[in-house]
Structure 1
Amino acid sequence: MTTVEVTGSHVPAWRGGFGRLWSAAVISRFGDALRGAALPLLAVSLTDRPLLIASVTACGYLPWIVFGLLGGAVADRVDQRRAMWTVDAVRALLVAAFAVAVALGHASILLLIALALALTTLQTLFDNASTALLPTLVDRAALSSANARLMTGQQIAGGLIGAPVVPLLIAAGAAVPFVADAGTFLLAAALVASLRAGAPERAPRPAGGTLRGEIADGLRTLWRDRPLRGLCAATALCNIGMGALIATLVVLVTGWLDAGTAGYAAATTAYTVGGLAGGVLNRRITARLGPLRSVLLAGLVQIAALVVMGSVRSLTAVVAALTVFGFMGMLWNVNTTTLMQQRTPADMLGRVSSAFRTLAVAGAPLGALLGGLTATAWGLNTPALLTAAFFVLSVIALIPGVKPDVPVVAPQDGATTAHATG
């Protein structure tokens, strides 16, 4: 592990594997952005029914509920590097096959749903392995900076570079964004495979130990940590709202605002620009407020941004609101991930990560369907207001965990950590 200290704060060095992991994450996120922006546009071309469009997003979350906990337990058992590049190689084949189907004119809502289910099933293993792998590449004191750099790089690739070029790629052919996505999966797999990170030292599993028992250990560890428990509950409530917002953002912009494809690209780019600013300023804000209070601030400001999105019928206002929303979303995500990595024993990080993600994501399919129903019943702008209501509940859930001097759990790797200041 290699870190450098800048003005009293540790930041990860690019050598030692972090640079390659960063590059793989950024390249893969570029491809994800191409696919993520192209799928709803393809769905809109196939049907004008908001509920069917929202179903594509909803089915993209369902595997976390079914396989999320299992993915975390497996991530704690296997070579995480090998698991990541293998998953990326399989995802490349799936997306390439989908691109062929689109090129031949066989695209359908059912096929979009099948792709979403398959990719997210594989993602349950990949994401938990990635969360557990990062602390083996950088020192724990540099985790916050490392997560911020990873997420900021992904925002640049996914929003500033990826999403705005989707209309141009679609103009070249509906299958082109998916071909490019398959290529990025392959390149990311090669980069991860080149890492020489050693697996974290794990205590021998007890005789007769089962995956079910190991999953239960992860759930118990998460439940006993008050700040992580509060963050998990808050994130779960947020994700119900986010499911509604993400599933219907395309119809809010292209329908309610009548801003077309260019307006949708502007909206997603605005979110990315806000996220970039949040990644740059995260360290300063967190140093002043502490990680948990930074998350609380993010939730409060996002409520206001969502109200603007759902009540002001202006593309300019929605773009501004999404910029602020993205800024605070980055603050939330970086601090949540870092706290989980710092507070969890290294040999349980896959399981705790999967428990957190599974419980947090569980409501997103419901939110996506609620968004489609709400848009159908009361108007295309109402899902944003529904999201704001769930964010209010999430802030309420977060408050009990925001207390000073909550000790960080000592990892089982010989490292020492400081106290979080909430």
Structure 2
Amino acid sequence: MATIETVGVRAPGWRGGFGRLWTAAVVSRFGDALRTAALPLLAVRLTDDPLAVASVTACGYVPWLLFGLLGGAVADRVDQRRAMWAVDTVRGLVVACFALAVALGHASVPLLLALAFSLTSLQTLFDNASTALLPSLVDPEALGGANARLMTGQQVAGGLLAGPCVPLLLAAGAYMPFAADAGTYLLAAALVASLRTRPPEREPSPAGSTLRAEIGDGLRALRRDRVLRAVCAATLLCNIGMGALIGTLVLQVTGWLHAGSAGYAAAMTAYAAGSLAGGFLAQRIARRTGRARALLVAGSVQTSSLLLMGTVRHLGALLAGMLLLGAMGMVWNVNQITLMQSRSPASMVGRIASAFRTASTSGAPLGALLGGAVARMYGLNGPALLTAVLFALAVTSLITAREPDVPVGAPRAGATTGRPTP
């Protein structure tokens, strides 16, 4: 697949639907952060088994293996706006029922596993539809800026605003974070439903075309693109590590550092603050180095931060590590998704995105379980050190796979912008 690796310099306009999509994403992430932080804390109240706690995180990734490719194929067939608001409505109702169960004292580890599995199953369609919808709302040269603004806004709401709210909501009742999450899903659904976008223009599918065949087309397109293939492999290694780290972070903070729930909230807030800084740095680093090399920079810094977190037994060291991890994670994510969107034909963004996500996240459930096993066998700081090793391997794999970036406005011979010719 011959494509251009451009680094956009224009900022996205708030009109044309992007502003409403941004608001919906930020509102929804605020609620997600409340739930994400509350779930492991609730799990710790129900069990002291590290493997059981990590299983809650692992169960949130498994649906990507089962339904990820299908979600991308469906996203390329349907009206993405309608798919997104319908999914958010269902997710809001599911979380509302869970909040009611917790309020009535029926919380259990199996129920937590069921919630994580069901929400992620719905997310496989939502995320692929959102990725495919965004390029239709902004100009191609503003795509990188749009991703940076979208992710930065989500981190501000999800970390800086939601993080400190978690202990307060939990003090009011274990069900409160989940009730708030349900409300944000429904509000986000209303915002997306209010978008006035034209139905996507697609060429008719060939006679006899099936979802299975279309999924195969997306997989082959990802395999043929050397840059995306390399980035996908590196992201797989990183996600194995992040599954191990996030799945056991609450144990490292509350057990190894004895910092309690407040320390865990502070760690999540530090990560969000770093992500906010990374949102401002992502485009600047990409303009200086190119998007592929920006991933090398981000991965190298993240490796160092993980070593700090795993070797220095002090809350300050962990907060500094989480700050750097969040900043460079944002740099990685913005440039990774922009590369994927800009290098994919418009009619295949959903399928290529789903193939990328399914392949790259397939290691996260294994990572979460592996993190629980490492924490049990080698100590609660072991997952951070394991993650550092995996990030170092990811950076090494990108060094030989990178290709020179194309300057803005200087396409390679025979390259395309990834958009169909009118």
**TM-score, normalised on structure 2?**
0.95
Does the alignment pair 1:310 with 2:317?
no
CA contact (8 A) 2:34 2:166 kept: yes
Q: Which residue of 2 aligns with 1:230?
A: 230
Q: How does 1:6-405 map to 2 (within 5 A)?
A: 9-405=9-405
**Equivalent-residue separation in structure 2 for 1:350 and 1:399 (angstroms):** 28
Q: Any idea what SS the aligned residue of 2:60 has?
A: helix
Q: State the Cα deviation string for residues 202-240 of structure 1 (Å, max 9, x = none).
A: 121100101110000000000111110000000011000
Q: State the Cα deviation string for residues 307-363 of structure 1 (Å, max 9, x = none).
A: 111110000011011101111000000000001110000000000000000000000
Counterpart of 2:417 (choices 404, 410, 417) is: 410
Q: Which residue of 1 aligns with 2:4?
A: none
Number of matched pairs: 408
Q: Any idea what SS the aligned residue of 1:223 has?
A: helix
**Equivalent-residue separation in structure 1 for 2:18 and 2:405 (angstroms):** 30
**Equivalent-residue separation in structure 2 for 1:199 and 1:140 (angstroms):** 19
CA contact (8 A) 1:345 1:409 kept: no
**Equivalent-residue separation in structure 1 for 2:13 and 2:417 (angstroms):** 24
Identity of aligned residues (%): 68
**Equivalent-residue separation in structure 2 for 1:409 and 1:158 (angstroms):** 36
Displacement, 1:42?
Answer: 0.2
CA contact (8 A) 1:230 1:400 kept: no
Aligned-residue Cα RMSD (Å) equals 1.1
Q: Any idea what SS the aligned residue of 2:10 has?
A: strand
**Equivalent-residue separation in structure 2 for 1:204 and 1:400 (angstroms):** 39
The residue type paired with residue 294 of structure 2 is S
Displacement, 1:267?
Answer: 0.6
Displacement, 1:405?
Answer: 4.1
Q: Any idea what SS the aligned residue of 1:11 has?
A: coil
Displacement, 1:412?
Answer: 3.7
Displacement, 1:413?
Answer: 2.7
Q: Which residue of 2 aligns with 1:5?
A: none
Displacement, 1:409?
Answer: 4.3
**Equivalent-residue separation in structure 1 for 2:246 and 2:69 (angstroms):** 24
Q: State the Cα deviation string for residues 270-308 of structure 1 (Å, max 9, x = none).
A: 111111001012221111011010011100111110011
**Equivalent-residue separation in structure 1 for 2:371 and 2:234 (angstroms):** 19
The residue type paired with residue 48 of structure 1 is D
CA contact (8 A) 2:290 2:405 kept: no
CA contact (8 A) 2:163 2:266 kept: no
**Equivalent-residue separation in structure 2 for 1:297 and 1:167 (angstroms):** 35
Displacement, 1:199?
Answer: 3.3
Return structure 1 stretches of 4+ with deviation > 6 angstroms: none
Q: State the Cα deviation string for residues 124-165 of structure 1 (Å, max 9, x = none).
A: 000000000000100111000000000000000000001211
**Equivalent-residue separation in structure 1 for 2:400 and 2:68 (angstroms):** 27
**Equivalent-residue separation in structure 2 for 1:257 and 1:411 (angstroms):** 48
**Equivalent-residue separation in structure 1 for 2:255 and 2:174 (angstroms):** 21
- Residue segments in structure 2 that go unaligned for 5+ positions in a row: 1-7, 407-411
**Equivalent-residue separation in structure 1 for 2:400 and 2:86 (angstroms):** 41
Q: Which residue of 2 aligns with 1:419?
A: none
Q: State the Cα deviation string for residues 102-143 of structure 1 (Å, max 9, x = none).
A: 000000000000000000000000000000000010011100
Higher RCO structure, 1 or 2 (CA under 8 Å, sep 6+): 2
Q: Any idea what SS the aligned residue of 1:9 has?
A: coil
CA contact (8 A) 1:91 1:119 kept: yes
Q: Any idea what SS the aligned residue of 2:403 has?
A: coil
The residue type paired with residue 50 of structure 2 is P
CA contact (8 A) 1:231 1:398 kept: yes
CA contact (8 A) 2:20 2:191 kept: yes
The residue type paired with residue 145 of structure 2 is S
The residue type paired with residue 313 of structure 1 is R
Q: Any idea what SS the aligned residue of 1:105 has?
A: coil
**TM-score, normalised on structure 1?**
0.95
CA contact (8 A) 1:148 1:334 kept: yes
**Equivalent-residue separation in structure 2 for 1:214 and 1:401 (angstroms):** 27
Q: Any idea what SS the aligned residue of 2:301 has?
A: helix
